[in-house]
Amino acid sequence: MSIFGAIKSAIFGHPAVQATPAAAPQTTQATPTPTPTPATAAPAAPAAPVEIDADAALAKIAHSKGDPDLNWKTSIVDLMKLIGMDSSLANRQQLATELGYTGEKNGSAEMNLWLHDHVMERIRTGK
């Protein structure tokens, strides 16, 4: 599994973030509607990208861990620590490669800020 895939799984697979199942819709007796024929059926519109509240999910994880003193909102290292991942330079270099970072992969502040921004963007947009 990729580092980004592991981050996504760690966030959305975390017990504090797991969604509770929605209640089943109530069935009502309705008059059947005629099914449109293929000539009159409208083409399905492409699904709009869904924004995911990654910040809320991460806040729930932080709260479930007693709100540790981690700056996960701006630091890729602290974000990885919050979700229990190895935040070593080697893992961040691999993540930088996966996400297409083109600068020096030396653990600089520039690289780390870029990683955090891109990880959060991809988590929020579900990409």
| Separation of first and last alpha carbons in the chain | 15
| Cα–Cα dist 46/105, whole Å | 37
pLDDT at 22 > cutoff 50: no
pLDDT of residue 24: 39
16 compared with 107, residue with greater pLDDT: 107
Asked if 64 contacts 15 with a C-beta cutoff of 8 angstroms, the reply is yes
Q: Which two tokens stand for residue 59?
A: 């806040």
Summarised one tens digit per residue, pLDDT across range 80-126 is 999 999 999 999 999 999 999 999 999 999 999 999 999 999 998 87
CA nearest to 123, candidates 25, 11, 14: 11
21 compared with 33, residue with greater pLDDT: 33
pLDDT of residue 27: 43
Look at the block and give the residue holding tokens 């653990």.
107
pLDDT of residue 126: 79
pLDDT of residue 74: 95
Report DSSP letters for 32-101, one per residue: PPPPPPTTTPPPPPPPPPPP--HHHHHHHHHHHTT--S--TTT-HHHHHHHTT----HHHHHHHHHHHT-
Q: Where are the domains of the chain?
A: 72-127
Summarised one tens digit per residue, pLDDT across range 31-81 is 555 555 555 555 565 555 556 788 999 999 999 999 999 999 999 999 999
pLDDT of residue 110: 97
